[in-house]
Structure 1
Amino acid sequence: MTSLDSASRDGKSGQSSASSFVQISMNFNTSIYSNAITPLALHFSISEQAARVGQMIFLVAYAFGSELWAPWSEELGRYPVMQLSLSLVNLWQIPCALARNYHTIVIGRFFGGLSSAGGSVTLGMIADMWEPDDQQFAVAFIVLSSVAGSVIAPIVGGFMEFYLDWRWNFWGQLIFGAATQLAHLLFVPETRTTILLDREAKRRRRAGETNIYGPSEIDGAGITMRDVAIIWARPFSMFVREPIVFCLSLLSGFSDALIFTFLDSYDFVYAQWGFSLIQIGLAFIPILIGYFIGYISFLPVMIKHRKIHRRNPNTLEPESRLWWLLFTAPLETIGLFGFAWTSLGPPQVHWIAPMIFSLLIAVANYCIYMATIDYMVASYGPYSASATGGNALARDFLAGIAAMYSTPLYESIGNKYQLEWPSTILAIVSFIVTVPIYVFYWKGPIIREKSKFAKTLATDRKARNIRQMGEKNRSNMGQTSESQLSQSSGLIYGVNSKHGIH
């Protein structure tokens, strides 16, 4: 590796790290609100169930908001869209913090969620920056930051709820969001290739090369409202019509909803051991540790896949992305059953027992999120933004619904084992939703053959891989031509007509 390659890789790593703070901040906003529910209920004289509407509406709006922002990042660039999103999210924290009635908070939370670009734009930035061989590692890191943000919030939130007024719940989101926006402003440049090439074309025309044009300039007017409507509709269409997207999104969404169910169940479970607000928050640390274990466990698998892909790109089918999940997905069911029946409380069970099982759930949750996104990207290629959009839609929407049912769930089922049966029911559901993983691993190629999106990509992938292998062989033989060098720079010079930078 040359010093230039090393510098480029270091720069991308720094930009990816700054982007990860965006994910942490966005998910922090979704979870930290739970620590304001009781104070809000007391301050505005409403029920705690009514106070949970603020959490639910943010998550549901976030589910749709991330889809609404995505097409604009393709047309206008990642950088301005993300900056606008972060600005609006931060702006909507102010009326919440200054609210004199609860309606203001609900409205502020709704528009704050709708303003959140989230992973749809962040993953696009990662795809822009990294080559396919390294992209999987960057995606894994972004996924880690996403799930970590939702758990860091209750850890910090316990201290905030204990020591500070409820308004600091929103001021805290604003401070964290402003710091995140500043980091993005300073360290993450524009990454969208078409935008960069348009800028380069304009620069060269100013320098006298009049026949150089960018891709957007060649395409003409750019995206139309009809195009936007089609793009916005595609994630929802794929979610309903594509079995892979539907089943794996439900699995991923259910796993995410578990975390938000935990936010409420922990109060009941650990109160049996006399935990304070701060101690209940600290009880989420095992989940955070579980996420890191899940992330680390994926690294050897990704390294192996990269080596195989470099030897022969045609060797790995998209289903290979699910291999590690075959072993880690059952940890969710095991963890839920274990968490359920170690929630009996003292003197039968020590408090460390449910924490151990929550760690197993976290390992599974990370692996499910990572593997489902990775598999969809590999299966749908150019349509992966829409496919993963369905994933994000399911995760945030189901998490929003969970914010409303979780407390009644742990208050209303059974008499003797009121805390144990709800988690047992969740364990049974988790077993059902993990079954499709094994179906797709063994029968995925047959299922993809019936998908117009995946089938088209499979044909294109084979043709591209054959072409890449041929180019690699020619390169090894020292037959790199002048035309190849010109194409590798991404520049095509016009003569008598408009030509573009691709």
Structure 2
Amino acid sequence: MSPQNIPPERPIPIEDLHALLREIIPQHQHQEHTATADTNATLESSVRQHGQPTRVQPPLTTTNTTINTNTTALPLANDDNRIMRALRWRRAGNRGSHNAQSEHVPVPIRPSDCGDGMPTRWTEEVKRRVLWVIFLVQVSMNLNTTLYSNGLEGIAAEFGVTTFQVRWGGAAAFLIAYAFGCELWAPWSEEYGRREVLQASLLFVNIFALVTGLSTTWYGHIIGRTLGGLSSAGGSVTLALISDMYDPHTPGHQYATAFIVLSSVGGSLLGPIFGGFVELYLAWRWVIWIQLLFGVFVQGLHYFLVPETRATIVMDTIAKEKRKADPSCKLYGPTEMAGKKCLKWSEIMVIWMRPFKMFLTEPIVLVSSLLSGFSDALIFMMVQSYGLVYQQWGFGTLLIGCAFIPIGIGYGIGYCLARYFIKRQILLRLRKPYCERAQYEARLFWLLWTAPLLPIGLLIFAFGTSFTSQPVHWIFSMIGACLIGIANYAIYMGTIDYVLRAYGPYAASATGGNGWARDFLAGVLTPYAVPLYVSLILT
């Protein structure tokens, strides 16, 4: 019975229905018992009088009994009809309620329902476009760390402080805050999507760059730089975009990782290379304005060209579009099915502390992070020390900036080597699909040949730039710098690639420890680079 055919009479409450049944059933039993007793009494009297039983007709054969019986049955029939009508009404109501609920039961959407909307199914053209924008985003974030060094003299003269205070208050404060900012932004990208979080990060970085440039006090300058570093999402989010678009088992995942790593290490070189022109021909505030202009440009590119890549957020969006196009559609995304989740401070602290816990308790993360952090810290120390060591050859501001080009060449060579070894690793995995060494440890094999280039390059650079009565040719120091660039790229790429594959769903936290070590060690060691070189020269 459909809900439209339900009798209009008001249904009997279940308590009244139960009481009515209890009253009716004893009446049936009493009437049957009375009729049976009368029949038995008649039979007994007949036996006593005639010695044999007399056949007694049932009461229903007489007219009076029939009338009385029908008269008694009328209320009973009415009561039965009333009870059955109420039961049918309840049954129809429950069925209608169940049908109404079943029409609105949400059905979780599956990746197969999303078609080509899933990031892993995007065309290669779309993926390359996203990678190029993320490349520029990463360059912008690293440009903020190194271009600042070309304004040290002007900042110190503006605010009446020493250059050592500027290295601590402006350069080191940004790097140390950057190290913690990477870990603070990563959990929110899992909840609200990569695009929104990265847009918020870029927006706050640009705002605090504006605060830094307009500040007229030293403390306001420090606050702007510190909050700008804390607002930088860094590689914890940009590397997550690679995992969103590429399956970790596919070759595209490794190639994309190599490309983004190149942007991370290469972006730190654009500052000193082009910073020489800014330092020579422009005021120190242009160091901040260039960062701001490039940051706004990159944020615009990211806003218009990069869609959301987080799988759960993409599925939510597709489900909403399907329901909007077809009102009868019952598909809902994962976040919609889970409902609004209110994160507690205890949960937030657990998420934020996970990278640091893995950094201290996981040997793989600890060793790879220290190796990568130490090599990256050397690059930032060299940014501070180039101005001293190349003065003995008469290098000016522009030539000192150009002296960083060999490190960039080393990064390019390291990227080419990475692509070559990735091809070898792919062939090895195809030959040995069930070998764990082929799946994991083979990714670190090329570090056996490239990581030793770091101490070799340091030794060549040290002897090539040593202050002697007759210094050797500057080309030897640049050869050493090129070897350092190859080793730095290989160490960063090798460790990130291995950690991403080894830790699976916890790769974001594991790579977060790597990024934290690189930025934190660089921030702590950068201010002491110049005093170290000055003391070595004097002794």
The question of a shared fold, defined as TM-score above 0.5 by the shorter chain, is answered with yes
Q: Does 1:99 align with 2:229?
A: no
Say which of 319, 338, 352 aligns to 1:232: 352
Question: What one-letter code is carried by the residue in structure 1 that aligns with 2:480?
Answer: F
Question: What one-letter code is carried by the residue in structure 2 that aligns with 1:221?
Answer: K
- 1:122 is aligned to 238
Q: Distance in 1 between matches of 2:427 and 2:338?
A: 38
- 2:484 is aligned to 361
Measured after TM superposition, the shift of residue 321 of structure 1 is 1.1
The 1:115/1:6 distance shift into structure 2, 3 A limit, reads closer
Identity value in percent: 50
Q: For 1:459-488, what per-residue CA distance to the aligned partner results, in whole angstroms no more than 9, with x for missing partners?
A: xxxxxxxxxxxxxxxxxxxxxxxxxxxxxx
- 2:80 is aligned to none
Q: Distance in 1 between matches of 2:445 and 2:146?
A: 31
1:375-414 correspondence to structure 2 within 5 Å = 375-413=498-536
- 2:173 is aligned to 57
Measured after TM superposition, the shift of residue 204 of structure 1 is 2.2
> With structure 2 as the length reference, what TM-score do the two structures score?
0.74
Report which of the two structures shows the higher radius of gyration computed on alpha carbons: 2
Say which of 195, 207, 220 aligns to 2:339: 220
Q: Distance in 1 between matches of 2:122 and 2:444?
A: 33
Deviates more, 1:43-52 or 1:155-164: 43-52
Contact 2:387 2:400 in 1 (8 A): yes
- 2:455 is aligned to 333
SS class of match (1:309) = helix
Contact 1:158 1:281 in 2 (8 A): yes
Question: What one-letter code is carried by the residue in structure 2 that aligns with 1:367?
Answer: A
Deviates more, 1:26-35 or 1:305-314: 305-314
Contact 1:75 1:222 in 2 (8 A): no
Q: Distance in 1 between matches of 2:379 and 2:335?
A: 42
Q: Distance in 1 between matches of 2:200 and 2:433?
A: 39
The 1:216/1:247 distance shift into structure 2, 3 A limit, reads same
Q: For 1:349-374, what per-residue CA distance to the aligned partner results, in whole angstroms no more than 9, with x for missing partners?
A: 11111011000000000000001111
Say which of 375, 378, 395 aligns to 1:255: 375
Q: Does 1:287 align with 2:402?
A: no
Unaligned runs of 5+ in 2: 1-116
Q: For 1:317-360, what per-residue CA distance to the aligned partner results, in whole angstroms no more than 9, with x for missing partners?
A: 41111100010000000000110001135733111110110000
The 1:284/1:189 distance shift into structure 2, 3 A limit, reads same
1:274-353 correspondence to structure 2 within 5 Å = 274-310=394-430, 312-315=432-435, 316-344=438-466, 347-353=470-476
Deviates more, 1:219-228 or 1:95-104: 219-228
Measured after TM superposition, the shift of residue 6 of structure 1 is 11
SS class of match (2:123) = helix
- 2:267 is aligned to 149
Contact 2:155 2:166 in 1 (8 A): yes
Measured after TM superposition, the shift of residue 209 of structure 1 is 4.2
Contact 2:373 2:518 in 1 (8 A): yes
Q: Does 1:40 align with 2:159?
A: no
Contact 2:208 2:227 in 1 (8 A): yes
Measured after TM superposition, the shift of residue 312 of structure 1 is 4.8
Measured after TM superposition, the shift of residue 127 of structure 1 is 1.1
Measured after TM superposition, the shift of residue 115 of structure 1 is 0.6
Contact 2:411 2:485 in 1 (8 A): yes
Contact 1:152 1:288 in 2 (8 A): no
SS class of match (1:349) = coil
Contact 1:75 1:223 in 2 (8 A): no
Measured after TM superposition, the shift of residue 105 of structure 1 is 1.2
Say which of 276, 285, 289 aligns to 1:167: 285
Measured after TM superposition, the shift of residue 47 of structure 1 is 0.8
1:62-211 correspondence to structure 2 within 5 Å = 62-132=178-248, 133=250, 134-206=252-324, 207-211=326-330
Unaligned runs of 5+ in 1: 417-502
Question: What one-letter code is carried by the residue in structure 2 that aligns with 1:297?
Answer: L
Measured after TM superposition, the shift of residue 160 of structure 1 is 0.3
SS class of match (2:390) = helix
Instruction: Flag as ranges the 4+ runs of structure 1 deviating above 6 A.
Output: 4-7
The 1:6/1:75 distance shift into structure 2, 3 A limit, reads closer
Contact 1:23 1:146 in 2 (8 A): yes
Measured after TM superposition, the shift of residue 304 of structure 1 is 2.0
The 1:313/1:212 distance shift into structure 2, 3 A limit, reads farther
Q: Distance in 2 between matches of 1:48 and 1:122?
A: 33
Q: Distance in 2 between matches of 1:167 and 1:65?
A: 24
- 2:139 is aligned to 24
Q: Distance in 1 between matches of 2:425 and 2:319?
A: 37
Contact 2:316 2:335 in 1 (8 A): yes
